[in-house]
Structure 1
Amino acid sequence: MKVRSFFAGLIVAAFAAPVLANGLPVKAADGVLTGSNGMTLYTFDKDVAGTGKSVCNGPCAVNWPPLVAEAGASASGDYTIITRDDGAKQWAYKGKPLYFWVKDKSPGDKTGEGVNGVWQLAKP
Structure 2
Amino acid sequence: MKPFAFLAAALLISSAAHAADPLKKSDGILVDDKGMTVYTFDKDSANSGKSACMDGCLKLWPAVPAPAEVAAPYSAITRDDGMRQLAYKGKPLYYYAKDSKAGERSGDNFKDVWHVVKD
TM-score by length of 2: 0.81
What is the letter of the counterpart of residue 59 of structure 2? V
Question: C-alpha displacement at 1:22, in angstroms?
Answer: 5.9
Aligned partners of 1:122 and 1:62: how far apart in 2?
Answer: 20
Question: SS where residue 25 of structure 2 aligns?
Answer: strand
RMSD: 1.3
Tell me how many residue pairs correspond in the alignment. Answer: 102
Which runs of 5 or more residues in structure 1 are unaligned?
A: 1-20
Aligned partners of 2:64 and 2:34: how far apart in 1?
Answer: 11
Q: Counterpart in 1 of 2:54?
A: 57
Question: SS where residue 61 of structure 1 aligns?
Answer: helix
Tell me if structure 2 keeps the 8 A contact 1:35–1:67.
no
Percent identity between the aligned chains? 46
Q: Counterpart in 1 of 2:99?
A: 104
Question: C-alpha displacement at 1:24, in angstroms?
Answer: 2.9
Question: C-alpha displacement at 1:25, in angstroms?
Answer: 2.2
Q: Counterpart in 2 of 1:90?
A: 85
What is the letter of the counterpart of residue 35 of structure 1? D
Tell me if structure 1 keeps the 8 A contact 2:19–2:70.
no
Tell me if structure 2 keeps the 8 A contact 1:82–1:91.
yes
Aligned partners of 1:89 and 1:22: how far apart in 2?
Answer: 16
Question: C-alpha displacement at 1:112, in angstroms?
Answer: 0.2
Residue 37, structure 1, aligned to residue 34, structure 2:
yes
Aligned partners of 2:117 and 2:54: how far apart in 1?
Answer: 19
Residue 122, structure 1, aligned to residue 117, structure 2:
yes
Residue 68, structure 1, aligned to residue 61, structure 2:
no
TM-score by length of 1: 0.78
Tell me if structure 1 keeps the 8 A contact 2:96–2:107.
yes
